[in-house]
């Protein structure tokens, strides 16, 4: 069993996000998504973000067949989450 980790804001879910998550599932048995909290998005992207609230973004991701688990993190980076999860692979998409 291999655990694949990816992360992001996933504020407005689009095809690029779906392709990333599909790719993650194709190379691992378990896909864990680290989701930036509303507070961390505001710090990173400004007061007008996020467009969709944290609980909605989490729900959208959990509904996807490519995603096994979603974990919200409040830091600016997922470093501590990655350290605690110890995934086999870390995949990061580009903007």
Per-residue pLDDT at 1: 82
Q: Name the pTM for this structure.
A: 0.94
pLDDT-based confidence at residue 93 (cuts at 50, 70, 90): confident
pLDDT digits (tens, 9 = 90+) for 3-28: 999 999 999 999 999 999 999 999 99
Give alpha helix (H) positions in 31-91: 38-45, 54-62, 79-85
| 62: three-class secondary structure by DSSP | helix
Mean pLDDT of 45-59: 96
Q: Which long-range contacts (CB under 8 A, 24 or more apart) does 40-49 make?
A: 40/73, 40/74, 40/75, 40/76, 41/9, 41/11, 43/76, 44/9, 44/76, 45/9, 49/9, 49/11
């Amino acid at each position: 069993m291999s655990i694949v980790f990816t992360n992001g804001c996933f504020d407005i879910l689009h095809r690029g996000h779906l392709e990333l998550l599909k790719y993650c599932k194709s190379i691992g048995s378990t896909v864990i998504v680290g989701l930036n909290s509303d507070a961390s998005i505001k710090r990173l992207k400004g007061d007008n973000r996020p467009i969709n609230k944290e609980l909605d973004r989490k729900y959208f991701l959990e509904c996807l067949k490519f995603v096994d688990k979603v974990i919200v993190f409040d830091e600016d980076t997922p470093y501590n989450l990655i350290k605690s999860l110890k995934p086999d692979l870390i995949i990061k998409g580009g903007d």
